[in-house]
Amino acid sequence: MTGRKILEIQNVKREFTMGTETVRALKGVSFDVNAGEFVTIMGSSGSGKTTLLNMLGCLDKPTEGVYLLDNVNVKELNRDELAKLRNTKIGFVFQAYNLLPRTSALENVELPLLYNPLIGTEERKERAIAALKAVKLDGRFDHTPNQLSGGQQQRVAIARALVNEPVMILADEATGNLDTRTSYEIMSLMQELNSNGKTIVFVTHEPDIAGFSSRTVMLRDGKVQKDTVNTDRRSAKEALASLPESDDY
Partner 1 sequence: MKFVNLIRLAVRALQRNKLRALLTMLGIIIGVASVIAMMAIGEGSKQAINESLSSMGSNMITIMPYSNEPGGARLMGSSIQSLTIKDIDALEESAQHIAKISPLVSSSGQSINGAANWPTSIQGVSPDYLDIRKLTVKEGIIFSEQDLRSSAKVCLLGKTVVDNLFPGGQDPIGKIIRFKNIPFQVIGVLNAKGQSNFGQDQDDIIIAPYTTVQKRILSSIYFNQIYASATNEGASDAAVDEITATLRETHRLRTGEENDFQVRTQAELMTMLNSTSSMMTALLTAVASISLIIGGIGIMNIMYVSVTERTREIGLRMSIGARGKDILMQFLIEAIMISVTGGVIGVILGVTSAFVIPVALNWPTVISEFSIIISFIVCAVTGIFFGYYPALKASKLDPIEALRYE
* Residues at the interface with partner 1 (CB under 8 A): 54, 57, 59-60, 79-80, 83-84, 86-88, 92, 94, 98, 100, 102-103, 111-112, 114-117, 160, 164
Contact 233, 214 (CB under 8 A): yes
Q: Give the list of residues 6+ apart from residue 112 with CB closer than 8 angstroms, or none.
A: 87, 91, 160, 163, 164
**Which residue, 89 or 215, is less far from partner 1 as judged by CB?**
89
Beta pairing partners, 29: 12
Tell me the closest approach of the beta carbon of residue 248 to partner 1, in angstroms. 31
Nearer to partner 1, 92 or 212 (CB): 92
**Nearest distance from C-beta of residue 83 to partner 1, angstroms:** 4
Shorter beta-carbon distance to partner 1: residue 67 or 184: 67
Q: How far is the CB of 107 from partner 1 (least distance, A)?
A: 9
Nearest to 155 by CA among 127, 197, 188: 188
User: Would you call 230 helix, strand, or coil by DSSP?
Assistant: coil
SS3 125: helix
**120 vs 207 by CB, closer to partner 1:** 120
Question: Which one-letter amino acid corresponds to residue 189?
Answer: L
Q: Shortest Cβ distance from residue 197 to partner 1 (Å)?
A: 22
Interatomic CA distance for residues 210 and 39, integer angstroms: 8
Considering the complex, state which of residue 34 and residue 87 has its C-beta at the smaller distance from partner 1: 87
Closest CA to 221 of 13, 55, 76, 82: 13
Residue 98 beta carbon to partner 1: minimum distance, rounded to whole angstroms: 5
